[in-house]
């Protein structure tokens, strides 16, 4: 019998598990504390649990399913892990430290089905969804690393690693809840962000299922011709449909939305596009996150120069919305946005 992932059980289910093994329900709370607060993965070291429960846990459950394939450290402090699942697939997770934050960019899938032309993850195709346990284990993993390094913890989680999070909606929603829960990792809801390529019906589902977390939409193109040439998803749901969903999201959740916008020389980073983007952003409660292209597979796509970026920004700044520029982190180890990919589909 394969072992189940203990991180995937909520407090109630952990209590049920304890009761099934003849233990009081409060053992569930103790288990949460061991995993989420003490970051313990070895049941035998959970010192306040009775022997019988420990044996039953060892037989049926696990908190560590991932194996480190590699870790790369960037000159800018970014660190990228390649983690191997029990069925032999490899995916990546990226720690991005700043002065005040320890942001973790987690993966929600192995590979991605969306086929965006600028993104290396797309070259893998879609392999499978990560389980709830595998998503949370990335945070546990990096928290254990940080604990040994300097006693810090992951402070922010962004679902911007491999995959389209809304194609794994229920696991991502449950993961966000466990990240945020007081008896979970206790990360503030405003510090948890999910980024989607724009699956319209899923944005509406997400608005109802998980209205408290931050949502970012990868707009990336300011008109349909441009966006469809970069993101096949735009041929299914065009910008008008996407913006309708964005407005409904804002209305249902009362949250400000982020639009991510990739800057590609002579494509998305041109003055006409800035004017279109300004019009889009001016009409709704949102902010714009500009992401200069990071080096990918396609030699045709190039990053704009600093002057081109500034010219684009100066048009946007005439609007009354916030504009941020995302600085690339970890490009030397291919850890920046859109650079995650594992060339091997399956490891023997
Ligand atoms: N799949 C989700 C989340 C992961 S990608 C999504 O697409 O939203 C996170 C962000 O990185 C997205 O906004 C995406 O458009 C951007 N991105 C992808 N490839 C990139 C590249 N080569 N350079 C810069 N940004 C990129
Ligand atoms: Fe998938 Fe996002 Fe990359 Fe597009 S940008 S291929 S949705 S990971």
Per residue in 248-272, pLDDT tens? 999 999 999 999 999 999 999 999 9
Region 4-62: CATH code: 1.10.150.530
Q: How far is CA 189 from the centre of its chain?
A: 14
pLDDT in the model for residue 346: 47
Listed by start position, the domains of the chain span 4-62, 67-333
| pTM exceeding the 0.85 threshold for the entire prediction | yes
Distance 193 CA to ligand 1 centre (A): 13
Distance 184 CA to ligand 1 centre (A): 28
Among 336, 262, 250, residue whose Cα is nearest residue 74: 336
**Angle subtended by helix axes 239-253 and 200-209, to nearest 10:** 0
pLDDT in the model for residue 296: 82
- For the chain, the first-to-last Cα distance in angstroms comes to 22
**Contact at 8 Å (CB) between 195 and 189?**
no
**Alpha helices (H) along the chain:** 11-20, 27-32, 51-60, 132-149, 169-180, 200-209, 224-230, 233-236, 239-253, 271-282, 306-316
Report the atom number in ligand 2 closest to the C-alpha of 195: 2
Which positions ≥6 away from 114 have C-beta within 8 Å?
122, 164, 197, 231, 232, 233
pLDDT in the model for residue 96: 97
* Ligand number, closest to the Cα atom of 124: 2
Tens digit of pLDDT at every position of the chain (348 positions): 789 999 999 999 999 999 999 999 999 999 999 999 999 999 999 999 999 999 999 999 999 999 999 999 999 999 999 999 999 999 999 999 999 999 999 999 999 999 999 999 999 999 999 999 999 999 999 999 999 999 999 999 999 999 999 999 999 999 999 999 999 999 999 999 999 999 999 999 999 999 999 999 999 999 999 999 999 999 999 999 999 999 999 999 999 999 999 999 999 999 999 999 999 999 999 999 999 999 888 889 999 999 999 999 999 999 999 999 998 899 999 988 888 898 754 444
Active site residues: 92, 337
pLDDT in the model for residue 342: 85
Distance 85 CA to ligand 2 centre (A): 21
Handedness of CA 289, 293, 295, 298 (dihedral sign): positive
Output the residue whose Cα is nearest ligand 2's atom 3: 119
Any atom of ligand 1 within 6 Å of the Cβ of 164? yes
Any atom of ligand 2 within 6 Å of the Cβ of 112? yes
CA–CA separation, 32 and 182 (whole Å): 10
Count of C-beta atoms within a 10 Å radius of residue 9: 21
**Contact at 8 Å (CB) between 192 and 178?**
no
**Contact at 8 Å (CB) between 119 and 341?**
no
Output the residue whose Cα is nearest ligand 1's atom 1: 164
Output the residue whose Cα is nearest ligand 1's atom 15: 218
Task: List pLDDT tens digits, range 267-286.
Answer: 999 999 999 999 999 999 99
pLDDT in the model for residue 347: 44
Region 67-333: CATH code: 3.20.20.70
Output the residue whose Cα is nearest ligand 1's atom 25: 337
**Contact at 8 Å (CB) between 170 and 10?**
no
Output the residue whose Cα is nearest ligand 2's atom 4: 116
Any atom of ligand 1 within 6 Å of the Cβ of 56? no
CA–CA separation, 314 and 322 (whole Å): 12
Among 304, 225, 284, 8, residue whose Cα is nearest residue 131: 8
Mean pLDDT of the chain: 96
Any atom of ligand 2 within 6 Å of the Cβ of 233? no
* Ligand number, closest to the Cα atom of 260: 1
């Amino acid at each position: 019998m394969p072992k189940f992932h203990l991180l995937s059980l909520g407090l109630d289910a952990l209590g049920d598990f304890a009761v099934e093994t003849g233990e009081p329900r409060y053992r569930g709370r103790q288990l949460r504390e061991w995993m989420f607060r003490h970051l313990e993965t070895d049941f035998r070291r959970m010192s306040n649990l009775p022997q019988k429960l420990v044996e039953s846990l060892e037989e049926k459950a696990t908190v560590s399913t991932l194996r480190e394939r590699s870790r790369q450290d960037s000159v800018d402090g970014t660190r990228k892990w390649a983690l191997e699942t029990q069925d032999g697939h490899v995916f990546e997770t990226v720690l991005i430290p700043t002065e005040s934050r320890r942001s973790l960019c987690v993966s929600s899938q192995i590979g991605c089905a969306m086929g965006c032309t600028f993104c290396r993850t797309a070259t893998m195709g879609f392999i499978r969804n990560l389980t709830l346990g595998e998503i949370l284990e990335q945070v546990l993993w990096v928290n254990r690393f940080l604990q040994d390094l300097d006693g810090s913890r992951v402070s922010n989680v962004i679902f911007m690693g491999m995959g389209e999070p809304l194609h794994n909606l229920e696991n991502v929603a449950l993961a966000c809840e466990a990240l945020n829960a007081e008896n979970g990792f206790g990360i503030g809801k405003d510090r948890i962000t999910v980024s989607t390529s724009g699956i319209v019906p899923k944005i509406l589902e997400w608005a109802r299922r998980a209205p408290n977390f931050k949502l970012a939409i990868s707009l990336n193109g300011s008109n349909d011709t441009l966006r469809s040439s970069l993101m096949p998803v735009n041929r299914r749901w065009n910008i008008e449909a996407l913006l309708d969903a964005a407005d409904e999201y804002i209305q249902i959740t009362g949250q400000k939305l982020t639009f991510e916008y990739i800057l590609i020389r002579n494509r998305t980073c041109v003055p006409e596009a800035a004017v279109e983007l300004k019009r889009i952003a001016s009409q709704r409660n949102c902010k714009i996150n500009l992401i200069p292209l990071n080096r990918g597979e396609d030699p045709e796509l190039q990053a704009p120069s600093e002057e081109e970026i500034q010219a684009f920004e100066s048009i946007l700044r005439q609007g009354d919305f916030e504009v941020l520029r995302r600085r690339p982190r970890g490009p030397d180890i291919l850890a920046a946005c859109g650079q995650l990919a594992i060339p091997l589909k399956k490891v023997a």
